[in-house]
């Protein structure tokens, strides 16, 4: 039907399309799909328009999907809004399997108990599309060709020297295509058996103690070997995607980190600000949690039984999220103000997935 007059002084249908376009952009993807799109045909058509969907992606808030690996349906979305972090549930979708990667609101879901059967899902629109199985799959968007591509390290070979990479263009390919890796050394190719990270137009593989990363340009489908900054080859590194770029953090102390960011087009690293956490606040909360599990006295930074690890960024480096393993405790460090807040996950002594994500209305095949 059409948008009807609400009162004698208000006729929403008379608003210019440009103004209605701008108003609807301020609504979250879940609210648009679950409510606004059903108000009238004009709104439904507008929110399904490619230009609207693309602009809505850029306006949506980058955050983190947090998923408990043993209870995959209990995933939540963590994001910064008006300077404070918020935790919300996915009201339109119940996750059935492990999440692997995200791009423009689309997530890779992998059923590891069923031959790694995989799906591209959009939790905001409650749609999913079956894709070729792959254990360490990722997804990225090629803007020039306006296509989504699923990428996976090919682990079906028994011989290490045959490790490689495969790619599948959604809506085009019927099976995996091989990406050239002959120019990479065997030692470097082993990194392809790690969980990849997606940034804007690129997929990256890394190893915490390696002196190189591998970067796939999703448009050209060429893999490049990029060295880490000189002097950081052997140190432990935490690689995190902001959604648009790749960063790594290396510990200077238990509660302080150096931050580096990759210029993807040139392969050069840029040193950013250091992260200096409030030791008194962080240490007090963490210490009390460790006391509950008889893990004191507090261990040194390199102790495997008690660590505070960076796990993701919120809103393009506005805030850093850290997980205090082995507890369920997480900290949110707001970079500009150095404020620290914390929240708790569902279980202690368990593994979680932290994936950079933003909610969207992207439609993909049957999505």
pLDDT at 46: 84
Q: Tens of pLDDT along 193-246?
A: 888 999 999 999 998 888 999 999 999 999 999 999 999 988 889 999 999 999
Lowest mean pLDDT among 247-251, 291-295, 331-335: 291-295
Phi, psi of 17 (to 5 degrees): -60, -35
Q: Tens of pLDDT along 243-286?
A: 999 999 998 877 789 999 999 889 999 999 899 887 666 665 66
290, 296 contact by CB (below 8 A): yes
Set out the domains of the chain in order of their start, with CATH numbers.
60-357 (2.120.10.30)
Instruction: Count other Cβ atoms within 10 Å, centred on residue 195.
Output: 16
Spatial CB neighbours of 279, under 8 Å, sequence gap ≥ 6: 254, 255
């Amino acid at each position: 039907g059409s948008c009807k007059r609400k009162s004698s002084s208000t006729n929403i249908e008379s608003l210019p399309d440009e103004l209605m376009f701008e108003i609807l952009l301020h609504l979250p993807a879940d609210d648009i799909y679950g409510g606004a799109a059903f108000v009238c045909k004009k709104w439904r058509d507008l929110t399904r328009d490619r230009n609207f969907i693309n602009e809505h992606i850029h306006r949506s808030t980058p955050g983190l999907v947090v998923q408990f690996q043993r209870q995959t349906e209990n995933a939540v979305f963590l994001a910064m809004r008006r300077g404070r972090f918020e935790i919300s549930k996915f009201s339109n979708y119940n996750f059935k399997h492990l999440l692997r990667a995200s791009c423009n609101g689309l997530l890779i879901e992998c059923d590891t108990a069923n031959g790694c059967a995989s799906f591209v899902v959009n939790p905001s629109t409650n749609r999913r599309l079956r894709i070729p199985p792959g254990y360490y799959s990722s997804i990225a968007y090629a803007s020039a060709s306006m296509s989504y591509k699923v990428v996976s390290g090919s682990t079906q070979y028994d011989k290490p020297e045959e490790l490689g990479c495969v790619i599948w263009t959604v809506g085009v390919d019927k099976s995996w295509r091989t990406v050239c890796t002959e120019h990479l050394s065997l030692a470097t190719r082993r990194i392809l058996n790690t969980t990849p990270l997606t940034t804007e137009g690129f997929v990256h593989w890394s190893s915490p103690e390696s002196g190189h990363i591998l970067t796939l340009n999703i448009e050209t489908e060429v893999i490049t070997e990029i060295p880490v900054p000189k002097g950081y080859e052997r140190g432990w590194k935490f690689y995190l995607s902001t959604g648009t770029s790749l960063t790594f953090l290396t510990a200077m102390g238990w509660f302080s980190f150096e931050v580096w960011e990759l210029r993807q087009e040139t392969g050069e690293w840029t040193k950013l600000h250091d992260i200096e956490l409030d030791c008194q606040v962080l240490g007090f909360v963490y210490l009390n949690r460790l006391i509950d599990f008889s893990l004191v006295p507090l261990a040194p930074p390199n102790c495997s039984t008690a660590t505070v690890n960076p796990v993701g960024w919120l809103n393009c480096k506005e805030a850093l999220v850290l997980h205090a393993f082995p507890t369920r405790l997480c900290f949110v460090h707001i970079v500009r103000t150095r404020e620290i807040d914390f929240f708790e996950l569902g279980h202690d002594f368990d593994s979680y997935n932290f994936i950079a994500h933003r909610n969207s209305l992207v439609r993909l095949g049957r999505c």
